[in-house]
């Protein structure tokens, strides 16, 4: 396979891309009501047929796609708009969009992340759309059906865990390889045939629903083609030719197999837009785009239809389209999700299903285009394996330096081991793509809902130290496992911790199952199901376990803080007897005020994760093993296994704000450590030791991925030889079995200046915990957390 670096172009080479990029960056987010209006209008007119949910949903989607006005912007080479605006936010009233309801009248005026909203649309949403869905949301359906179960009551406290299925089926990779290679018409015809032949009524309904949905997408493409033809009569001759070319493409794809790279990109994007109308537009990812596109790009090159610069422009236009929508985040939730894009991940490089190196010219093109655009979407994820070409690895490092944040790096050996340990075949495990932030999943064959549970491990520790009482609210949440004074040995402490852990895990899994069942009943998803392998054969929607592989994803928050806390108690209280248990308890209650010596001891004398210390690493590994064991006791709603990962979005600041002082010496309200990264300031032994600790974590128990955040000063890397040192660090980390590594390359001073003058730094990229974000769109707390992260020294 071809490898090595391709041409690097400055953005100025592509005036069109520069204009499109600028238009996106200056666009103000506008709340788009069209999808919600049509969706609700359909159900108001047709009723909510509870007998045939699959057909009901397929007809609703068809209604939306048949009536959504096509929107084509100037300069676009790839068309299809998620919303009616250059940068829009969708509303899903059947899920959790109603959290924005209180803010509708003031959304445009809010201080952080204002969103434009037409007054008429505000009234439509507030007075007609949201009221209609009162009893029909996933959350309410599960709550009523379970008679307000404890698991959902606890969810509403938002301190212990968050369950994402209230918000739709997201975090998945559709089978875009099949969309490109076979086209939707073939899938639709097969579905029709199966619906006729099926003897099981549910299967017959499922196939009929997928057929209806796929046909609706084909008509949707036809309407876009017609719009391009209409617009071609109103523009310059050169633009008219472009629009006619796009129209011709849309008259073929996505119905038929793509014959060119342009058709493939257009096909994928139009299907993505259609999928965004069916399910929440979060982390719907593209999989291994370089593997899908390379045969078409190669054919284009051979036939002389395209040269590398032309291909770069097309791919750039496609990447820019990915940024056309953004999540609608309520003010209070800015702590949790602030600044996040919708995290559409694109995966490049890595092993092929046969075990060969998969790097090809499209890999390098994607890397180069991502670099020249330097946008937060797509979340570019680059795979590395032990035999990856050295030039490719170096190109990745150079790209991280230039963009300041992308791509994130993944170690094939660790990821493949993790997926195989969870029942994925070796061939399919090698074919993984990354979803959303950092979650590796077999592309196109898995319903994994990788963000199903966000779990606060620090809350487990707080319950342990307080006899099951949550200190912030005073609620008795966990079992009574003894007051702190009674936990007078490491054995007792661990036993109490494990009981509290099992209790919270049981509740989180119970809530997840209830929401999954509610989702299957209220909002099955026939279009997305049609694009996941296994559903056609099983005749079941993905919400009912129809996919080839089924799992639910867990993201653990607070790993390093809890591991350091347990190590500190064991070493300083039980072994060294340097701190009395009573003194520790008092220090935690007082947030270490008046207990400065105790805090200093905890922070300086105890072993800490991230220093390549055997004791601390062992505690961390044992913690990961215990968490995995606890989740493994519960089957997922679709008879799969829970896959646990260690990534945190911005929840390490969100949960951190709600967490009291911890025995690690962390003070009340401070951010928890992000992802699987050591606590900020703890990795005092340097980046090699920090990476060694993370590489030692058991990959097989982290199948939902990890976010391993590191920060390097740009000024340092500019010095001779430093980039090569970074390259060596990367090489050694993955050679030692590391799973994931991502860098923010910015100088502290630049970040501080960006806080002062956001307008001048609006495209400054950083890694949060998994995703790439514009620094200035993050809330102040997460900005400060990124500034405070340990800076690696080379």
Q: What residue ranges bind other proteins (CB under 8 A)?
A: 98-99, 101-106, 123, 126-127, 130-131, 133-135, 137, 139-140, 143-144, 148, 153, 156-159, 330-333, 335, 472-474, 654, 657-658
Cα separation of 291 and 348, whole Å?
A: 8
Minimal distance, residue 57 CB to other proteins, in Å: 21
Round to the nearest angstrom and report the end-to-end CA distance of the chain.
33
Minimal distance, residue 663 CB to other proteins, in Å: 22
Query: Which residue in the block uniquely carries the two structure tokens 């018409």?
Result: 185
Minimal distance, residue 129 CB to other proteins, in Å: 12
* Nearer of residues 100 and 296 to other proteins, judged by Cβ: 100
* Nearer of residues 114 and 131 to other proteins, judged by Cβ: 131
* Nearer of residues 133 and 549 to other proteins, judged by Cβ: 133
Minimal distance, residue 72 CB to other proteins, in Å: 34
* Nearer of residues 99 and 186 to other proteins, judged by Cβ: 99
Cα separation of 738 and 731, whole Å?
A: 10
* Nearer of residues 72 and 158 to other proteins, judged by Cβ: 158
Helix axis angle, 614-632 to 687-695, nearest 10°: 30
Sign of the Cα pseudo-torsion (80, 83, 88, 94, in order): negative
Is residue 77 within 8 Å of 242, Cβ to Cβ? Answer: yes
* Nearer of residues 100 and 187 to other proteins, judged by Cβ: 100
* Nearer of residues 17 and 108 to other proteins, judged by Cβ: 108
* Nearer of residues 219 and 667 to other proteins, judged by Cβ: 667
Minimal distance, residue 92 CB to other proteins, in Å: 14
Is residue 515 within 8 Å of 144, Cβ to Cβ? Answer: no
Minimal distance, residue 119 CB to other proteins, in Å: 8
* Nearer of residues 4 and 105 to other proteins, judged by Cβ: 105
Nearest alpha carbon to residue 533 among 452, 451, 441, 450: 441
Minimal distance, residue 341 CB to other proteins, in Å: 21
**Cβ contacts of 258 within 8 Å, gap of 6 or more:** 180, 181, 183, 252, 264, 266, 267, 296
DSSP 77: S
Number of Cβ within a 10 Å radius of residue 2: 13
Cα separation of 98 and 358, whole Å?
A: 44
Is residue 413 within 8 Å of 695, Cβ to Cβ? Answer: no
Question: What's the token pair of residue 604?
Answer: 């300086």
Partner residues linked to 162 by β-bridges: 454
Minimal distance, residue 481 CB to other proteins, in Å: 22
Sign of the Cα pseudo-torsion (635, 640, 646, 652, in order): negative
Residue-wise burial string across 281-308, b where 16 or more C-beta atoms lie within 10 A, e elsewhere? bbbbbbbbbbbbbbbbbeebbeeebbeb
Bridging pattern class, strands 549-557 and 641-645: parallel
Is residue 634 within 8 Å of 505, Cβ to Cβ? Answer: yes
DSSP 705-730: -B--EEEE-HHHHTSTTHHHHHHHHH
* Nearer of residues 155 and 275 to other proteins, judged by Cβ: 155
* Nearer of residues 126 and 585 to other proteins, judged by Cβ: 126
Cα separation of 634 and 628, whole Å?
A: 10
Residues found in the chain: 794
Provide the 3-class DSSP secondary structure of residue 98.
Answer: helix
Backbone φ, ψ for residue 504 (5° rounding): -70, -35
């Amino acid at each position: 396979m071809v490898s090595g670096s391709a041409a690097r172009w400055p953005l100025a080479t592509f005036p069109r891309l520069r204009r499109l990029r600028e238009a996106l960056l200056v666009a103000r987010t506008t709340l788009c009501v069209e999808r919600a209006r049509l969706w609700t209008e359909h159900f108001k007119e047709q009723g909510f047929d509870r007998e045939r949910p699959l057909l009901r949903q397929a007809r609703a989607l068809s209604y939306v796609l048949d009536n959504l006005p096509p929107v084509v912007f100037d300069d676009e080479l790839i068309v299809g708009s998620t919303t009616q605006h250059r940068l829009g936010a969708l509303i899903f009233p059947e899920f959790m969009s109603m959290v924005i309801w209180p803010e509708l009248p003031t959304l445009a005026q809010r201080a952080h992340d204002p969103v434009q909203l037409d007054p008429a649309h505000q009234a439509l949403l507030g007075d007609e759309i949201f009221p209609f869905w009162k009893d029909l949301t996933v959350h309410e359906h599960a709550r009523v059906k379970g008679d307000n179960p404890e698991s959902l009551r606890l969810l509403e406290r938002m301190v212990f865990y968050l369950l994402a299925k209230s918000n739709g089926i997201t975090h998945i990779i559709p089978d875009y390889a099949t969309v490109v290679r076979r086209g939707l018409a073939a899938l639709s015809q097969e579905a029709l045939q199966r619906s006729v032949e099926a003897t099981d009524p549910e299967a017959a309904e499922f196939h009929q629903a997928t057929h209806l949905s796929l046909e609706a997408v084909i008509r949707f493409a036809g309407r876009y083609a017609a719009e391009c033809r209409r617009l071609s009569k109103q523009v310059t001759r050169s633009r008219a030719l472009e629009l006619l070319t796009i129209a011709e493409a849309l008259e073929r794809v996505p119905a038929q197999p793509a014959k060119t790279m342009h058709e493939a990109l257009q096909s994928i994007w139009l299907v993505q837009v259609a999928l965004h109308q069916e399910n929440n537009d979060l982390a719907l990812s593209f999989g291994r785009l370089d593997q899908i596109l390379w045969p078409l790009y190669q054919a284009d090159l051979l036939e002389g239809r395209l040269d590398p610069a032309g291909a770069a422009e097309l791919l750039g236009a496609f990447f820019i389209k990915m940024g056309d929508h953004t999540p609608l985040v309520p003010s209070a939730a800015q702590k949790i999700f602030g600044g996040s894009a919708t995290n559409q991940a694109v995966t490049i490089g890595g092993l092929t299903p046969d075990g060969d190196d998969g790097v090809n010219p499209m890999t390098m093109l994607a890397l180069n285009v991502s670099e020249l655009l330097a946008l937060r979407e797509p979340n570019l994820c680059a795979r590395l394996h032990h035999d990856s070409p050295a030039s490719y690895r170096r190109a990745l490092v150079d790209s991280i330096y230039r963009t300041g944040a992308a791509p994130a790096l993944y170690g094939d050996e660790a990821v493949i081991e993790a997926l195989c340990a969870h029942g994925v075949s070796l061939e399919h495990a090698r074919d993984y793509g990354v979803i959303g932030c950092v979650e590796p999943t077999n592309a196109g064959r898995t319903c994994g809902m990788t963000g199903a549970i966000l779990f606060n491990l620090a809350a487990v520790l707080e319950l342990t130290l307080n006899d099951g009482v949550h200190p912030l609210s005073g609620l008795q949440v966990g079992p009574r496992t003894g007051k702190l004074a009674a936990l007078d040995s490491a054995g007792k402490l661990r036993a109490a911790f494990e009981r509290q852990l099992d209790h919270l895990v049981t509740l989180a899994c119970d809530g997840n199952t209830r929401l999954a069942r509610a989702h299957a009943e209220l909002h099955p998803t026939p279009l997305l199901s049609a694009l996941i392998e296994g559903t056609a054969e099983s005749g079941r929607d993905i919400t009912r376990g129809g996919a080839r592989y089924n799992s639910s994803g867990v993201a653990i928050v607070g790993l390093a803080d809890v591991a350091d806390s347990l190590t500190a108690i064991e070493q300083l209280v039980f072994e060294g007897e340097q701190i009395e248990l009573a003194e520790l308890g008092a220090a935690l209650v007082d947030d270490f005020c008046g207990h400065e010596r105790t805090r200093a001891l905890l922070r300086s004398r105890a072993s800490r994760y991230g220093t390549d210390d055997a004791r601390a690493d062992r505690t961390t590994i044992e913690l990961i093993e215990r968490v995995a064991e606890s989740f493994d006791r519960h089957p997922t709603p679709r008879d799969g296994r829970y896959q646990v990962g260690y990534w945190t979005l911005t929840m390490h600041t969100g949960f951190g704000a709600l967490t009291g002082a911890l025995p690690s010496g962390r003070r009340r309200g401070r951010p928890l450590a992000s992802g699987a990264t050591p606590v900020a300031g703890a990795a005092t032994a340097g980046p090699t030791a920090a990476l060694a600790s993370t590489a030692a974590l058991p990959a097989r128990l982290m199948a939902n991925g990890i976010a391993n955040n590191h920060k390097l000063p740009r000024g340092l890397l500019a010095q001779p030889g430093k980039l090569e040192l970074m390259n060596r660090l990367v090489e050694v980390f993955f050679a030692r079995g590391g799973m994931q590594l991502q860098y923010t390359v910015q100088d502290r001073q630049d970040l501080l200046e960006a806080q002062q003058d956001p307008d001048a730094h609006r495209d400054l990229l950083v890694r949060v915990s998994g995703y790439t974000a514009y620094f200035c769109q993050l809330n102040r707390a997460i900005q400060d957390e990124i500034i405070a992260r340990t800076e690696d020294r080379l």
